[in-house]
Structure 1
Amino acid sequence: MTVSGNHHTSGNNKESFLNTIASKLGRERRHEVQLPDIQSLLPDSYGSLTQDDLIDILKEQCFFIHTQVIESKPEILQRTLDDLIEANGGGSVMTSGDPRFAAYGLKFPGSFAWEEAAGRELNIMRAESANTAVIFADYALAESGTIVVESRPDQGRSLHFLPAHYIAVIEKERIVLRSTQAAAALNRRVQAGEPLGSSINLISGPSNSADIEMKLVVGVHGPLSATYVLI
Structure 2
Amino acid sequence: MKGTIQNRDKFLNQIAGRLDRSRISSPIEKPSWKFQPQNEVLKDASQDELLEVLKEQCKKIHTNLYTTDSQELPAILGNIVANYGGGPVVTWKDERFTRWGLDLLMKKEWFNQNIEVFEWDYTVGEQNIRKAEKANVGITISEITLAESGTVVLFSDENKGRTVSFLPATSIMLIPKSTLVPRMTQAAKKIREIYQKTGHVASCINFITGPSNSADIELNLVVGVHGPVKASYIVINDL
Which amino acid counterpart does residue 18 of structure 1 have in structure 2?
A: A
Q: CA deviation at 1:118?
A: 2.1
Higher Cα Rg, which structure:
1
Q: Does 1:117 align with 2:123?
A: yes
Is the partner of 1:74 in helix, strand or coil? coil
Is the partner of 2:19 in helix, strand or coil? helix
> Which 10-residue stretch deviates more, 107-116 or 73-82?
107-116
- Stretches of structure 2 that go unaligned for 5 or more consecutive residues are 1-6, 110-115
Whether the 8 Å contact between 1:22 and 1:29 is mirrored in structure 2 is no
Distance 1:36 1:11 in 2: 23
Is the partner of 1:222 in helix, strand or coil? coil
Q: Does 1:82 align with 2:78?
A: yes
Q: CA deviation at 1:11?
A: 6.8
Is the partner of 1:71 in helix, strand or coil? strand
Q: Does 1:132 align with 2:137?
A: yes
Q: CA deviation at 1:48?
A: 3.0
Matches within 5 A, 1:4-153: 15=13, 17-19=15-17, 21=19, 23=21, 29-34=23-28, 36=30, 43=39, 46-106=42-102, 107-108=104-105, 109=109, 110-119=116-125, 121-153=126-158
Instruction: Normalising by structure 1, report the TM-score.
Output: 0.84
- Regions of 4+ moved over 4 Å: 9-14, 41-46
- Stretches of structure 1 that go unaligned for 5 or more consecutive residues are 1-8
Alignment coverage as a number of residue pairs: 216
Q: Does 1:217 align with 2:222?
A: yes
Q: Deviations for 1:136-168, whole angstroms, at most 9, x for unmatched residues?
A: 111110011000001111111111110001000
Distance 2:78 2:230 in 1: 16
- Using a 3 Å threshold, how does the CA distance of structure 1 residues 51 and 14 change in structure 2: closer, same or farther? closer
Which amino acid counterpart does residue 225 of structure 1 have in structure 2?
A: K
Is the partner of 2:218 in helix, strand or coil? coil
% of aligned pairs identical?
38
> Which 10-residue stretch deviates more, 110-119 or 62-71?
110-119
- Using a 3 Å threshold, how does the CA distance of structure 1 residues 214 and 116 change in structure 2: closer, same or farther? same
C-alpha RMSD of matched pairs (Å): 2.7
